[in-house]
Every structure is written in C-alpha cells, then in structure tokens.
Amino acid sequence: MKTEPINEMKLVFPSSSSNEGFARAAVAAFAAQLDPTVDEISDIRTAVSEAVTNCIVHAYRDTIGKIEILMRLYEGGKLVIQVKDKGCGMEDVEKAMEPLFTTGGEERAGLGFAVMESFMNRLHVTSRPGKGTCVTMEKRLVGRSGYGR
C-alpha cells in the first residue's frame, strides 16, 4: 500500500546560478515544518545545493533550462526531494556517480553525488541522454522534538 504525503510542494525555476540559493532556502523553509535540527537543515540545504548546481553546470551547460524540485513530507519525519531537469542527460549514471568524475572541466571537483549521498539517507539517480535527469533524495528527520523517532 502506497503512503500518501502529509504535505508537498513543487518549484520550477530557470537554471541560472542566482537561483541555487533560492532553491536551498525554499527547501529549508518547507522542511522547517518538521522542526528539524540545525544539522538536519544544513544537510538538506547542502544536498539540494549540489543537485541544483549539477543541473546548472552539467545538464544545461551553456543554456538556461527549467529545474523542478518536488518535495514530499510523510508521517514519521520522512522527507523525499526530487530535483529534475530536462537537460542533456547522462550516458552512464554509475560512472557519473563515481567520486572525482566530472564533465565540468578542471574547476569542478566531481564530488556532487558523493556529497548528496553523505548527507541524505538514500539517493537514487535516473537519467536518459537527451531527456534529462531525476535525482531523488530521502532523509529521515528526527527533529528537535524527536518527531521522527
């Protein structure tokens, strides 16, 4: 049986670098209803920042496209965040997720997926060349009031 979210939101915005901070703040504001700890909010903000930056730098490279963030809250403090683009996509998701692998040139560290994985409880990436990428991240929040325990 599929569980319904207790709340959800969707954001769609252009892939300009100025919107990375906006996405981080909007996600943190939405997650705040679960009364997360400062560390939990920091983890979420960092993971979303990495996912959005990947869209800006890799998916759309030299053009502006749309980035979509879908967030869902579930009973017990479960937060699911999807960051989607309709950019260039990836030929080999497994290879792209290897630490230090990058298509962004020397100035990129190639650690985006590793960072997302380290701050979230679950990370799943799907991609189709020419169609785009969807990064799904899951975090179980305990929160300051012990909500997720």
User: Is position 85 within any domain?
Assistant: yes
Q: Would you call 50 a catalytic residue per the annotation?
A: yes
Task: Give the mean pLDDT of 51-62.
Answer: 90
**What is the per-residue pLDDT for 122?**
96
Catalytic residue among 108, 117, 128, 144: 108
> Has 54 been annotated as catalytic?
yes
What is the tens place of the pLDDT at every residue in 11-23?
999 999 999 999 9
Q: Average the pLDDT over 120-133 and give the result.
A: 94
Q: How confident is the model at residue 149, as a pLDDT? A: 42
Q: Does 111 map to a domain?
A: yes
- Mean pLDDT estimate for the chain: 86
3-state SS of 48-109?
HHHHHHHHHHHHCCCCCCEEEEEEEEEHHHEEEEEEEECCCCCCCHHHHCCCCCCCCCCCCC
140 is catalytic: no
Decide if 109 is inside a domain: yes
CATH number at residue 49: 3.30.565.10
Give me the mean pLDDT over the 81-102 stretch.
76
Among residues 40, 54, 72, 117, the one annotated as catalytic is: 54
What is the mean pLDDT of the segment spanning 104-112?
Answer: 57
Name the 3-class secondary structure at 114: helix
Q: What is the pLDDT of residue 83?
A: 97
The domain tally of the chain equals 1
Catalytic residue among 20, 40, 50, 117: 50
Task: Name the residue with higher pLDDT: 3 or 80.
Answer: 80
Examine residue 95 and state whether it is found in any structural domain, yes or no: yes
Question: Does 34 fall in a domain?
Answer: yes
**Weakest mean pLDDT among 59-63, 85-89, 127-131:** 59-63
DSSP H or E segment with residue 127: strand 122-128
pTM comes to: 0.85
In a domain, 94, yes or no: yes
Q: Is the pLDDT of residue 105 over 80?
A: no
Residue 1 in any domain: the answer is no
Whether 100 is covered by a domain: the verdict is: yes
Domain that holds residue 89: 7-140
Q: Is the pLDDT of residue 38 over 70?
A: yes
Residues with Cβ within 8 Å of 73's Cβ and at least 6 positions away in sequence, in order, are 5, 6, 7, 8, 30, 31, 33, 34, 79
Using the predicted structure, report yes or no on whether residue 108 has a pLDDT greater than 60: no
Given pLDDT bands bounded at 50, 70 and 90, which one contains residue 1? low
